[in-house]
Amino acid sequence: MTTIYHNPRCSKSRLTLELLHNNDIEPTVVEYLKTPLSQTEINTLIDQLDIDAIQLVRVKEAEFKEAGLTKSSTREAIVEAIANYPKLLERPVVVHNNRAAIGRPPENVLELFK
């Protein structure tokens, strides 16, 4: 099963979804702004991505400061902020076989299918 955490207003997210479709991959699409992720789901994503939590955050969004985050915030603080401000989630994120990749650039996600 493949899932894409998608924002249809984001060009990279749209390109990533198109790339998946062009490779005959039909993911489950989760529009995370409409269906925000829980703290547990965010922690799982960080583990699947194998990254530092801050790498999952869009630090240039106004909500970054609004949430009281800094680039040295704890994982716990970052996870809570993403749960409360879904717009902070870096996008798109594709999950396949318990591994994940951020689609920046979109081609990054193809590594999950090799």
* 61: annotated active-site residue: no
Catalytic annotation, pick one of 10, 51, 54, 110: 10
d(CA 17, CA 57): 20
Q: Is the peptide bond before 105 cis (omega within 30 degrees of 0)?
A: yes
List, for residues 15-64, the tens digit of each pLDDT value.
999 999 999 999 999 999 999 999 999 999 999 999 999 999 999 999 99
In a domain, 107, yes or no: yes
In a domain, 110, yes or no: yes
pLDDT cut 70: percent of the chain above it: 100
**Beta strand ranges found along the chain (DSSP E):** 2-6, 28-31, 93-96, 99-102
Confidence (pLDDT) at 102: 98
Q: For residue 101, give the CATH number of its domain.
A: 3.40.30.10
User: Mean pLDDT across the chain, nearest whole number?
Assistant: 97
Instruction: Give me the domain span that covers residue 104.
Output: 1-32+91-114
